[in-house]
Amino acid sequence: MNEQLDGRRKPRVWIRKIGEETVFTAIYSQHQSIGRTYMNVALPLPFSSMHGILQAAVENERLYLTSDGEGDTGTYLAVGRYLFQLPLHESFVIREVDDHLLATHDMTLFGLHFLHIDYVIKEKMTKTYTKII
């Protein structure tokens, strides 16, 4: 990902596929402001993009990310040069267990909880083939 095109420092792209079909794309970066660390996520949409600014904190060996924190946090819709704050909030709790990560993801809209997802995140092992001649 090109920093000059994205406008953020060290952006990374996450592409989620089911089979060969792309079902989700997001561009991630991070920044610091007034002693806090934030993850910022851009989701491309038709003629616009949605941006989640998540405050990051570590407590009891867990990573907490929330758009309902202090400072820069929030969820925004960008249309051209216009930016609208949305009444949408999300939070993640991520912890390491053995050789994988467990994560929960919760979302609210207008203060009403509407989504809860539990994730198990494992490192994808690549297949190595040796050709014997």
Instruction: Kindly state whether residue 26 falls inside one of the protein's structural domains.
Output: yes
Instruction: Kindly state whether residue 129 falls inside one of the protein's structural domains.
Output: no
Q: Is the pTM of this model over 0.85?
A: no
Model confidence at 30: pLDDT above 70: yes
Instruction: Kindly state whether residue 42 falls inside one of the protein's structural domains.
Output: yes
Instruction: Kindly state whether residue 118 falls inside one of the protein's structural domains.
Output: yes
Question: Closest by alpha carbon to 80, among 126, 45, 28?
Answer: 45
Instruction: Kindly state whether residue 22 falls inside one of the protein's structural domains.
Output: yes
Question: Closest by alpha carbon to 74, among 63, 82, 66?
Answer: 66
Model confidence at 59: pLDDT above 60: yes
Q: Is 38 exposed, middle or buried (0-12, 13-18, 19+ CB in 10 A)?
A: buried
Instruction: Kindly state whether residue 62 falls inside one of the protein's structural domains.
Output: yes
Model confidence at 129: pLDDT above 80: no
How many structural domains comprise the chain?
Answer: 1
Instruction: Kindly state whether residue 132 falls inside one of the protein's structural domains.
Output: no
Supply the range of the domain harboring residue 82: 3-122
